[in-house]
């Protein structure tokens, strides 16, 4: 790409922002998990860092979770995750960057070679990448010293890290930790990386991928990665009818895309309603209710499908409680608020003879969402949700939330009428 075609990358606004990036990245390398804001706050204060100044100097393009920084301080449980661009301002980023782009190359290779007849989506595994990258290390141990030095912080204190250089077993442990961390880091920021299933105690993951990663084949540095990311974002959003700025900023963003749905399709996939494909080949998209997107988008994007569905349904439950003033929960709440001939909330559109039928059906839909979808995910046993099925459950939650919009509008109308009638 020519120099004048390159897109300016975001930068921290000052030293406090850079210090926060360092703290987040160091904690990630130590634990293999992205820290929450409460942890970062404590670590920054310990280093005499200015937390509020740091928040003001960072954007979502550097730290995911920065959208929560609209308040003076985010919620302590807000997870802070660096993007590849944010990582480049941290110590050891050069070594990590090399491993990440090797992983990206490997993902492109696997996706391109995936059998077209396969029933499963293309997927990469940490074990597969480890074998590709490091199976030769017994005869080329000098090649892995940089990775050990960068990632061995995950092994413990200085004495253990020193021992790691001498022990082949601990060297291998450091490398597997590095592979695990590279996958987690790249999953949160890479277009085309879909869902991730993690086994933290085994330092293992499985990530599904799609054709969009081919736009990043042979990327060699973060500037080139950023250029291609912005170009792909423009292409996808224009396909969705969104307005895209020269820096990739999107307006009128379709929330379904935030959830990681594979909305960008080759032109041949456009559906003509007069000659529609069979239902099993039809891909649909919708704009999720903003309250469902707020509760679930980040979780789904990280591969936490079960958690995304649970929080979507909790959001529905909480809104029913808020609108009705009831402290009941779950099925009892829905039966109490939506049952009877004169329900406490109006979530129906029908009039006349169809009204009783729709009232009963909507009551049962809300009750079923609690008993069949919310409760098993809240109380266990927990079984991983299929990403496609999870999207369908999020759409159901979105539908219920839109019906609660009707209920709130009806309550507002009633309140206005009462106010008008008052002497």
Structure confidence by residue, pLDDT tens digits, 144-180: 555 555 555 544 445 555 554 545 566 677 778 888 8
| Residue 43: count of CB within 10 angstroms of its CB | 18
Helix 387-421 and helix 355-368, axial crossing angle in degrees, nearest 10: 130
pLDDT, position 270: 35
Q: Using an 8 Å Cβ cutoff, are 174 and 155 in contact?
A: yes
pLDDT, position 46: 92
| Residue 275 confidence class, pLDDT cut points 50, 70, 90 | very low
pLDDT at 191 over 90: no
Judgement on whether residues 104 and 133 belong to the same structural domain of the protein:
yes
Mean of pLDDT over the chain: 77
Q: Using an 8 Å Cβ cutoff, are 314 and 400 in contact?
A: no
More confident position, 341 or 178: 178
Judgement on whether residues 76 and 99 belong to the same structural domain of the protein:
no
Give CB contacts under 8 A, 24+ apart, made by 380-389. Answer: 382/306, 383/306, 384/197, 384/305, 384/306, 385/305, 385/306, 385/309, 386/305, 387/194, 387/195, 387/208, 387/303, 387/305
Judgement on whether residues 113 and 198 belong to the same structural domain of the protein:
yes
Q: What is the mean pLDDT of residues 373-383?
A: 82
pLDDT in tens, 104-133: 999 999 999 988 887 788 999 999 998 888
Q: Using an 8 Å Cβ cutoff, are 258 and 64 in contact?
A: no
Q: Which of 104-113, 254-263, 295-304, 412-421 has the lowest mean pLDDT?
A: 254-263
Q: What is the mean pLDDT of residues 384-406?
A: 89
Judgement on whether residues 113 and 197 belong to the same structural domain of the protein:
yes
pLDDT, position 185: 87
Judgement on whether residues 239 and 355 belong to the same structural domain of the protein:
no
pLDDT in tens, 75-112: 777 888 899 999 999 987 877 888 899 999 999 999 99
- Cα pseudo-dihedral 381, 386, 392, 398, rounded to 10: 60
Give the angle 122-123-124 at the CA atoms, nearest 5°.
140
pLDDT, position 150: 52
| Residue 418 confidence class, pLDDT cut points 50, 70, 90 | low
pLDDT in tens, 204-222: 889 998 888 899 988 888 8
More confident position, 152 or 359: 359
Judgement on whether residues 121 and 65 belong to the same structural domain of the protein:
no
Q: Which two tokens stand for residue 413?
A: 């109308």
Distance (Å, rounded) from C-alpha 48 to C-alpha 144?
35
Judgement on whether residues 97 and 203 belong to the same structural domain of the protein:
yes
pLDDT, position 66: 59
Q: What is the mean pLDDT of residues 334-356?
A: 87
Last residue of a domain, one of 213, 247, 273: 213
Give CB contacts under 8 A, 24+ apart, made by 143-147. Answer: 144/171, 144/175, 146/95, 147/95, 147/99, 147/174, 147/175, 147/178
Q: 70: exposed, middle or buried (C-beta count within 10 Å: 0-12, 13-18, 19+)?
A: exposed
pLDDT, position 243: 43
Query: By C-alpha distance, which of 327, 333, 321 is closest to 408?
Result: 321
Judgement on whether residues 387 and 270 belong to the same structural domain of the protein:
no
Model pTM above 0.95 = no
Q: Which two tokens stand for residue 253?
A: 């963003």
The total of structural domains in the chain comes to 4
Judgement on whether residues 147 and 263 belong to the same structural domain of the protein:
no
Q: Which of 120-134, 343-357, 381-395 has the lowest mean pLDDT?
A: 381-395
Last residue of a domain, one of 264, 281, 298: 281
| Residue 130: count of CB within 10 angstroms of its CB | 19
Judgement on whether residues 312 and 382 belong to the same structural domain of the protein:
yes
Distance (Å, rounded) from C-alpha 174 to C-alpha 325?
53
Residue identified by tokens 């990358």 is 9
Judgement on whether residues 25 and 97 belong to the same structural domain of the protein:
no
Q: Which two tokens stand for residue 312?
A: 């979507």
pLDDT, position 309: 92
As a 3-state breakdown, the chain gives helix, strand, coil percent values, each rounded to 5, of 60, 5, 30
Domain of 257, in residue numbers: 221-281
* Sequence-ordered list of residues with C-beta below 8 angstroms from that of 280, at least 6 positions apart, any chain: none
pLDDT at 273 over 50: no
Q: What is the DSSP letter of 35?
A: P
251 forms bridges with which residues in the sheet? 243
Distance (Å, rounded) from C-alpha 293 to C-alpha 288?
6
Q: What is the mean pLDDT of residues 230-234?
A: 82
Q: Which of 22-36, 144-158, 266-280, 361-375 has the lowest mean pLDDT?
A: 266-280
pLDDT in tens, 2-48: 444 577 888 998 999 999 999 999 999 888 888 988 899 999 999 99
Last residue of a domain, one of 231, 256, 281: 281
Judgement on whether residues 54 and 101 belong to the same structural domain of the protein:
no
């Amino acid at each position: 790409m020519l120099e004048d075609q390159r897109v300016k990358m975001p930068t921290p606004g000052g030293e406090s922002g850079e210090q926060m990036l360092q703290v987040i990245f160091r904690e990630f390398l130590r634990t293999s998990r992205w820290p929450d804001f409460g942890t970062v706050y404590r670590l920054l204060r310990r280093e005499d860092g200015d937390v509020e100044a740091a928040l003001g100097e960072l954007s979502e393009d550097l730290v995911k979770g920065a959208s929560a920084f609209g308040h003076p301080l985010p919620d302590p449980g807000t997870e802070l995750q660096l993007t590849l661009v944010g990582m480049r301002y941290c110590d050891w980023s050069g070594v990590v960057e090399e491993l990440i782009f090797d992983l990206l190359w490997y993902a492109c290779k696997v996706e391109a070679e995936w059998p077209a007849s396969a029933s499963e989506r293309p997927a990469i595994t940490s074990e597969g990448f480890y074998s590709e990258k490091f199976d030769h290390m017994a005869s080329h141990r000098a090649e892995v010293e940089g990775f050990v030095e960068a990632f061995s912080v995950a092994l413990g204190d200085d004495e253990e890290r020193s021992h790691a250089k001498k022990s082949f077993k601990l060297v291998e442990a450091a490398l597997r930790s590095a592979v695990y961390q590279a996958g987690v880091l790249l999953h949160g920021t890479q277009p085309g990386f879909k869902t991730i299933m993690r086994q933290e105690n085994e330092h293992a993951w499985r990530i599904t991928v799609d054709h969009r990663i081919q736009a990043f084949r042979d990327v060699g540095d973060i500037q080139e990665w950023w250029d291609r990311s912005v170009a792909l974002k423009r292409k996808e959003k224009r396909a969705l009818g969104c307005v895209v700025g020269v820096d990739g900023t999107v307006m009128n963003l379709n929330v379904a895309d935030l959830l990681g749905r594979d909305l960008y399709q080759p032109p041949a996939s456009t559906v003509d309603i007069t000659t529609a494909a069979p239902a099993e080949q039809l891909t649909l998209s919708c704009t999720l209710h903003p309250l469902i997107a707020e509760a679930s988008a980040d979780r789904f994007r990280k591969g936490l499908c079960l958690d995304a569905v649970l929080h979507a349904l909790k959001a529905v439950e909480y809104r029913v409680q808020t609108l009705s003033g009831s402290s009941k929960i779950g099925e009892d709440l829905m039966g109490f608020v939506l049952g009877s001939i004169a329900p406490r909330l109006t979530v129906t559109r029908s009039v006349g003879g169809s009204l009783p039928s729709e009232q009963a059906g909507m009551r049962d839909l809300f009750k079923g969402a609690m008993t069949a979808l919310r409760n098993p995910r809240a109380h266990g046993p927990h079984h991983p949700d299929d990403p496609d099925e999870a999207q369908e459950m999020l759409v159901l939650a979105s539908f219920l939330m839109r019906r609660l919009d009707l209920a709130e509008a009806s309550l507002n109308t009633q309140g206005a009428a009462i106010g008008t009638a008052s002497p």
